[in-house]
Amino acid sequence: MITVLTDELLKANGVTYEQLDAVAVSAGPGSYTGLRIGVSAAKGYCYALNKPLIAVSTLQLLFEGIKQQASEGFYYLPLIDARRIDVYAALYDAAGNEIIAPGFFTLNEQFAEKIKPYKNLIVGGNGAEKSSQLLVVGNVRFVNDIVPDARFMVAVAENKFNKGEFADAAYFEPMYINEFQAKLPKAK
């Protein structure tokens, strides 16, 4: 459906494929299948239209969404639920500078210690709620309704476009961080 939805979106806004300057895609981390499908479609558009590819971290998208509901002087901790007691996380300052690079973390005392120096903290994403018992130091605010949204991608993608920060469409791979693990179905 992604190509059908893309057609509908462009038509609804009176834009043709030829008018696009680049194709931006969520680079992950996130759902293995979702990333594969999204990146494959984006690469297809890039090749067919001879347009550059812009890759944006899913955690950076969440940061942009969290930032819209925040105050000055805070650090931003977007969290993506990675099942069990694990999350994908990154830490950003108010200007969007990466303080802690995107990674796979277990919500434990070691993670809490890593975050502890950042007293004014806004935590968002679908992993925020399960971190609320652990992150209780300083001035911590939780925003639970933030999801990766293409609207948050616009400013980041435009900035990367203006700087000429393009991904190599031939070799670009999504940021999986954690290896894909196939499981046997529970019911036979």
Specify if 185 maps to a domain: no
- 133, pLDDT greater than 90: no
SS3 content of the chain, % helix, strand, coil (to 5): 35, 25, 40
Residues 77 and 114 in one domain: yes
How many domains, in total, are found in the chain?
Answer: 2
pLDDT tens for each residue of 100-119 = 999 999 999 999 999 989 88
Specify if 181 maps to a domain: no
CA atoms of 96 and 102, how far apart (whole Å): 13
pLDDT tens for each residue of 27-38 = 999 888 889 999
Specify if 169 maps to a domain: no
Question: What's the N-to-C CA distance of the chain in angstroms?
Answer: 29
Query: At 112, is the secondary structure helix, strand, or coil?
Result: helix
Structural domain range at position 154: 2-57+148-163
pLDDT tens for each residue of 45-73 = 999 999 999 999 999 999 999 988 777 78
Question: Which residues, 6+ apart, have CB-to-CB distance to 5 below 8 Å?
Answer: none
Residues 46 and 75 in one domain: no
CA atoms of 91 and 115, how far apart (whole Å): 8
Neighbours of 55 (CB within 10 A): 23
Residues 124 and 74 in one domain: yes
pLDDT tens for each residue of 4-43 = 999 999 999 999 999 999 999 999 998 888 899 999 999 9
CA atoms of 24 and 9, how far apart (whole Å): 15
Burial (CB count within 10 angstroms: exposed 0-12, middle 13-18, buried 19+), residue 172: middle
Q: Domain holding 122: CATH number? A: 3.30.420.40
CA atoms of 115 and 138, how far apart (whole Å): 10
Residues 69 and 122 in one domain: yes
Q: What is the pLDDT of residue 183?
A: 58
pTM: 0.85
Count helices and strands in the chain by DSSP H and E runs: 6, 7
Residues 16 and 33 in one domain: yes
Specify if 133 maps to a domain: yes
